Amino acid sequence: MDTEKRIIELEIKVTSQDDLTQQLSDLVYGQQKQIDELRALCTALVKRLGETLDDGGADTYAQEKPPHY
């Protein structure tokens, strides 16, 4: 009887660890997805910044004086 109880306890622990491992795996997957999205956004921003600098620098509106000057 004692051995059977130990086996049952071990099975419960393994099942609990399997559930925890799946939860952690899902969390890591979600984080990797966010990282990929942020990398794509950074790449797009760097490309946009490069295009802006290639076009002569800052936006033309930023170089104009405000009307009250």
Task: Please count the structural domains in the chain.
Answer: 1
Domain that holds residue 22: 8-48
Are 58 and 52 in contact by the 8 Å Cβ rule? The answer is yes
Token digits for 17? 């660890």
CA–CA distances in Å: residue 18 to residues 2, 22, 24, 29, 32: 24, 6, 10, 16, 21
Asked if residue 62 belongs to a domain, the reply is: no
Asked if residue 13 belongs to a domain, the reply is: yes
The torsion defined by the Cα of 24, 29, 31 and 32, in degrees rounded to 10, comes to 140
User: For each of the chain's 69 residues, which pLDDT tens digit applies?
Assistant: 799 999 999 999 999 999 999 999 999 999 999 999 999 999 999 999 988 887 766 555 666 777 776
Asked if residue 54 belongs to a domain, the reply is: no
Residue 1 is predicted with a pLDDT of 73
Asked if residue 2 belongs to a domain, the reply is: no
pTM: 0.63
Residue 13 is predicted with a pLDDT of 97
Residue 31, sorted as left (phi over 0), alpha (psi -120 to 50) or beta, turns out to be alpha
